[in-house]
A and B are shown apart, each in its own frame.
Chain A
Amino acid sequence: MIVSEICRRNPVTIRSHEELISAAALMRERHIGYLIVVEPHPPHAAPRPVGVLTDRDLVVGVLAKGADARLLKVGDVMTRDPIVVCEDTSLNSALAEMRRIGVRRIPVVDAVGQLVGVLSLDEVLDAIAEELRGVIGSIRTEVRAEGARRP
């Protein structure tokens, strides 16, 4: 399995100059905890990831510090230059990379670094469970087939 087969396309993005409050509102509206911060680069080209912002970043980096969220921009809190994986990476290597840096979600880019999606552990688990179901189905078929062949 490669990353492009299971990553989610069209991830929710935000720009670094936007207000932090808007980021929190966006997380609320879209029912997500992860925003990819993008900049068009070069202008008018497809967006590239320049940062990521999680709901946890907002708790640990803003709320817990007693900072006034109204005065902050996305760029003030985001993790800059996030590690990304290329869409043709094997799932195994992508997981190894996520394990190495200790994240549950990672931006997915194409060969020239443009954002194409996000890979999250939830989707990986879903894909693996699907494969497992396939294996279990084969085992059941095997048992039935043997039963039919040697009644």
Chain B
Amino acid sequence: MKVSDVCTAEVVYCGPGVTALEAARLMRHRHVGDVVVVSNPDNDRIPIGVVTDRDLVVEVLGNGREAAITPLSSLVRTPVVIATDCEDVQEVLERMRTHGVRRVPVVDGRGALVAIVTLDDLLAALLADVQALLETSHRAQRREQSTRR
């Protein structure tokens, strides 16, 4: 299974100069828990980091920093963990485990942001396989019942 089969194309992104306050508003209005910070939102969209709602709480509120003057560039962890759209999901799972992240920006062949893939996406894909396995197993049993009465 490829990353492009399971990732979410509706990714929210912004530039590194955007403040924690603006990011919080983006998260509120777009109903997401993370924004991808890219070098140039209007052009090449190279991811430089991910900022989660949790980062805003822990790094800004928890540290007594002023959200209106804290740029996201001071919050992102680098280097950013990324995935490419044609990669196998197994490799991305491995990378999530190594780095302890649940959300990974997906880039195209030129390195531009195109989507985001989350642990939830991967879990859903995995469970769809398990579901298919169970259905196959049930069907095989029914077929046996109907052919060998």
How many chain-B residues does the 8 Å CB contact rule pick out? 20
* Interface set, chain A 28-67, CB cutoff 8 A to B: 28, 33, 55-56, 58-60, 62-64, 66
Contact of B33 with A56 in the complex, beta carbons under 8 Å: yes
Q: Are B28 and A64 in contact (CB under 8 A)?
A: yes
Assess whether A69 is interfacial by the CB under 8 Å rule. yes
Chain B, range 53-99, C-beta contacts under 8 Å to A: 53-54, 56-58, 60-64, 67-68
- Interface presence of B27 (CB below 8 A): yes
Q: How many residues of A contact B (CB 8 A)?
A: 18
Query: Which residues does A use to contact B, with CB under 8 Å?
Result: 20-21, 24-25, 27-28, 33, 55-56, 58-60, 62-64, 66, 69, 125
B residues within 8 A CB of A20?
61
Q: What separation, in Å, do the CA atoms of A60 and B53 have in the docked complex?
A: 9
With a CB–CB cut-off of 8 A, which chain A residues contact B14?
Answer: none
How far is the CB of B121 from the nearest CB of chain A, in Å?
14
B21 within 8 A of partner (CB): yes
A62 — which chain B residues lie within 8 A by C-beta?
61
Tell me the residues in window 9-43 of chain B with beta carbons closer than 8 Å to chain A beta carbons: 20-21, 24-25, 27-28, 33
